[in-house]
Amino acid sequence: MGTPKEEEKKPEQSNTVAFLLIIIMIGLFLLLIGEYDKQPEDANVYIQAGHEGRVFGKTGSVSQYGREMDWNVTVANEATRVLRNAGVSVIRAAADHKRKSNVQLAISIHFDGSKRVCRAGASVGFSRSSNRSAVRAWKRLYSPIFPFRWMRDNFSKNLSRYYNYYYTNASDAELVLELGEISCPEQARWLKPRLRKLGRLVAYFAAQRIGASGVAKPRF
């Protein structure tokens, strides 16, 4: 009577071995993906849509005119489309894109929000003093277009210590572009119908910074 019991154990042992082999293979696959993600990406321009992809936590400002996350995506997508059509290589990143990147210019798109409405406006964040040339160039471009208030550069820690600076290595500049205040009715009504134009303006700015041709300055 001992023989049948021993025979019953053999299939069970085989299943266990097969299961362990599958686990090992999955582990090796995930390890390879992890090693791949550690390799930096290379491109001309990096464009991040702030808050994109998040469902909780820092999901961005919201007002009766829309969600910041959606506005960021619209601007970032349009800027990416224009640049790629001009032959510029672009890394288009969401909020939690953790792979490091080597680029000429890195831009993160945001719109500000304020509990006390119309207390904010357009602004620029940057990580180091060598970025100031790009900051000045953006302000020269956007100031005559944006008819509302500007905040001082790096007016908050979220701008001067923006988390995504860690993931981008830019030879020209790493900037956070706050394009206006979504919670301010006057600004939001001006901004909302111009989101794609703002994307084209960002693309024009990026092309000018890296010396790329074929990107026209949009008319406002």
The mean predicted confidence, pLDDT, of the chain is 91
pLDDT tens digits, one per residue of 2-61: 555 555 555 666 677 777 777 777 766 555 555 455 799 999 999 999 999 999 999 999
* Structure tokens, 190: 């001006």
The C-alpha atoms of residue 71 and residue 146 are separated, in whole angstroms, by: 16
Ramachandran region, residue 28 (left: φ > 0; alpha: ψ -120 to 50; beta: rest): alpha
Q: Does domain 42-210 have CATH number 3.40.50.620?
A: no
* pLDDT at position 131 over 90: yes
pTM exceeding 0.85: no
Query: 118 CB contacts (<8 Å, ≥6 apart)?
Result: 181, 183, 184, 185, 186, 187
Q: Where are the domains of the chain?
A: 1-39, 42-210
Higher pLDDT pick, 13 / 190: 190
- Residue 15: its pLDDT value, please? 73
* pLDDT at position 207 over 80: yes
User: Which percentage of the chain shows pLDDT scores above 90?
Assistant: 82
Place of tokens 């090992």: 24
- Residue 30: its pLDDT value, please? 57
Cα–Cα separations (whole angstroms), residue 25 to 12, 15, 16: 20, 15, 14
DSSP secondary structure letters along 144-213: TT--S-BPPTT-SHHHHT-GGGGGEEEEEEEEEEEEEETTSHHHHHHHGGGHHHHHHHHHHHHHHHHT--
- Residue 118: its pLDDT value, please? 96
Q: Please give the average per-residue pLDDT across 122-127, as a whole number.
A: 97
* Angle between helical axes of 132-142 and 195-210 (0-180°, round to 10): 140
pLDDT tens digits, one per residue of 142-162: 999 999 999 999 999 999 999
* Side-chain half-sphere exposure of 212, counting CA atoms within 13 A: 25
pLDDT tens digits, one per residue of 98-124: 999 999 999 999 999 998 999 999 999
What is Dmax (Cα atoms) for the chain? 93
Q: Please give the average per-residue pLDDT across 168-192, as a whole number.
A: 98
The C-alpha atoms of residue 181 and residue 149 are separated, in whole angstroms, by: 10
Q: Please give the average per-residue pLDDT across 127-155, as a whole number.
A: 97
Higher pLDDT pick, 17 / 137: 137
- Residue 35: its pLDDT value, please? 46
